[in-house]
Structure 1
Amino acid sequence: MPHFLAVYTMTPESLARFRALPQDEQDAVDAAGLPAWQAWEAAHARALPDRGGMVGKTMRVTRDGVAPAANDCCGYVVVEADSIEAAARLFEGHPHFTIFPGDGVDIMPFLTGPASCSPAG
């Protein structure tokens, strides 16, 4: 079955707005969001061969060297599904953007490598 990389996205502005909230409001979001995220993972456990995780600041390596960089990626998970559309549907209503300040989830097929068990659609 095809595998897909799902990348959680969040703009720096969205994170800054969240961090500007009073601590009790941030804690309330966490109190609602973490159990909802765990429930989502439990409901889709069979489709998650790699539950991934959240990621921090970026360092970019180019021919010019190594330097801090910015992007909207804040986490990832590997999804197994019949198609990219089926993989995307798994994330409808996800807590990343319905409770937490995330902006979306980008879904991409693996075309090569160990996670590409069969041709991705």
Structure 2
Amino acid sequence: MTRFLVLYCVPSAVIEGWKRTAPETRGPAEAKMKAAWDDWMQAHAGTVNGTEAGGRTKRVASDGISDIKNDVMLYAFAEAESHDAAAQMFADHPHLQIPQASIQVMEVRAMTGP
């Protein structure tokens, strides 16, 4: 099995717009998505683990440190037989119901010594 880093992405403008949605609309929609997410996670138990939310972001570069926003909402690690199999596993993920959402699946390789 190969290990993959999974990035759940949504443009920050979409998230900000969603936060302004009326609670009576947002609440039921979020509950429905959470139920779908829980079902998806249960169906993929053992292959996806460590899903966590991203937070405020700092950009560190040779010219200094600054606050930035990026599209990463959540991240996880997954295991699959191949890169294609890992990507296919997320093809029907409930996260993709969010407008402009995407999921990036990146192979994780151990760094070799000096």
**TM-score of the superposed pair, with normalisation by structure 1:** 0.83
Consecutive unaligned residues of structure 2, counting only runs of 5 or more, are none
Count of aligned pairs: 111
Shift of 1:101: 4.6
Q: Which residue of 1 aligns with 2:106?
A: 108
Report sequence identity in percent. Answer: 29
Partner of 1:21: 21
SS of residue in 2 equivalent to 1:15: helix
The correspondence of residues 18-97 of structure 1 with structure 2, limited to 5 A, is 18-48=18-48, 50-97=49-96
Q: Deviations over 1:22-78 (max 9, x none)?
A: 111110111101111111111101212x32211122111122222101211111110
Distance 2:50 2:44 in 1: 10
Shift of 1:110: 0.6
> How far apart in 1 are the matches of 2:31 and 2:99?
14
The 1-side partners of 2:75 and 2:55 are apart by 11
Q: Gapped runs of 5+ residues in structure 1?
A: 114-121
Higher strand share: 2
TM-score computed with the length of structure 2 as normaliser: 0.88
User: Over the residues paired in the alignment, what is the CA RMSD in angstroms?
Assistant: 1.5
Aligned residue type for 1:39:
D
1:15 corresponds to which letter in structure 2?
Answer: I
